Amino acid sequence: MYNFGDCMTSYIDPYEEAKKQLRSTVELLGLGYDVYEALATPERVIQVKIPVRMDDGSVKVFIGWRSQHNSALGPYKGGIRYHPDVTMNEVIALSMWMTWKCSLAGLPYGGGKGGVRVDPKRLSIRELERLSRGYFAALAEYLGVDLDIPAPDVYTNPQVMAWYFDEFSRIKGGLYYGVVTGKPVEIGGLEARIYSTGLGVAISAREAAKKLLGGIEGRTVAIQGFGNVGYYAAKFLEEMGAIVVAISDSRGGIFNPRGLNVGEVISVKEKTGTVVNYDKAEKKITNEEILELKVDVLIPAAIENVITEANARNIKAKIIVEGANGPTTVEAERMLTEAGVIIAPDILANAGGVIMSHIEWVNNRIGGWITEEEARRKLEEKMIASFNNTWNFWESKLDKTRHNLRAAAYAVAVDRVVKAMKLRGQL
């Protein structure tokens, strides 16, 4: 069976990659090595031991981390993931990328990230609750509404956020709704949060198409990955007038040059477990083939490192919009840039989730009166402004033959953080 993992290259230390990206950005901005050092080192990394009483009466110990990378712009912000392969370096790298993502989006947040090394699929719901409460309790003194505000990430969800909120409130002796975002609606979450990342990806694709193709209406789109982000990106792009011609999940993909009905495809996936069983497609395709289709817009929305130097020359899309984090390797991006492909980078394209988290946090702070329509409008305004700021910097400040849109996004983000650090006397 083909799966997304077949696309991946050999292990690359994400923290080393994050530092390479930062170093090139610092050089691009003409800043010194002291600035690089200050930004490359997280302000705090906490490791915690989480003993959990299992359902059979035994006690199992899990390890978790929280990296607080930079707080120059505001409280640390970033998700918590549960995964058997998570590492401290991965968490640190993700916290650094969150600093740039929040900065680029114009949010009053710094970057944070958390992780617990666990396979949540092997835990009962009660074991998962005990793990979650134990992790948050161990970190409670380092978290807070104005200090560090976690959110869902890989294999965590609104239910986990509800346990976090309840545990923190119990420890602190109050109701601290703003200590986490991505909560259930009943305890301060927003309806719009579930689709916010996918909506942001769709908006980024639409704005890029306006710049390069005259608009998104009638343009063909292929989407690798049909989880939350991929589905909602497809749904909103279809509503915007795009033609979604190909969709895939971990078991394979489907293609129809006349377009797929996104609502029907998600219904089939929910009933059968995969999009491959959709019987109105012209043909089934692999996850390798979907990346190489002749389409206007390609959205990798699954995992990292799926576009590599091995397949970059076969990419035919005019625009790549990164719904996933890190789907394009450095060498592949160099090759695609030389070929004239425009890449809307992850820190720009998939920022819809953290933007909606900010809206939820503000709503919690002011007493909870925002409507779903208002939240969605504010998300769109932020995404458009972020895209235009990045595009304008690229056009006006950089040599477009040498630097791509990712370089512009990083430059805008890092510059804002550096200015804040200087104003606060931290540099």
Q: Which residue numbers are catalytic?
A: 113
Measured CA angle at 47 (ends 41, 51), to 5 deg: 170
Please report how many Cα atoms fall inside a 13 Å half-sphere around the Cα of residue 188, on the Cβ side: 24
Q: Are 121 and 93 in contact (CB under 8 A)?
A: no
Q: How far is CA 350 from CA 322, 323, 327, 353, in A?
A: 7, 5, 12, 7
CA–CA separation, 113 vs 17, rounded Å?
A: 17
CA–CA separation, 48 vs 65, rounded Å?
A: 6
Can you read off the two tokens belonging to residue 183?
A: 């909560």
Number of Cβ atoms within 10 Å of the Cβ of 257: 14
Can you read off the two tokens belonging to residue 235?
A: 């749904």
Q: Please name every residue paired with 70 in a beta bridge, in sequence order, or none if there are none.
A: 111
Can you read off the two tokens belonging to residue 118?
A: 């666990």
CA–CA separation, 1 vs 137, rounded Å?
A: 41
Measured CA angle at 276 (ends 272, 282), to 5 deg: 135
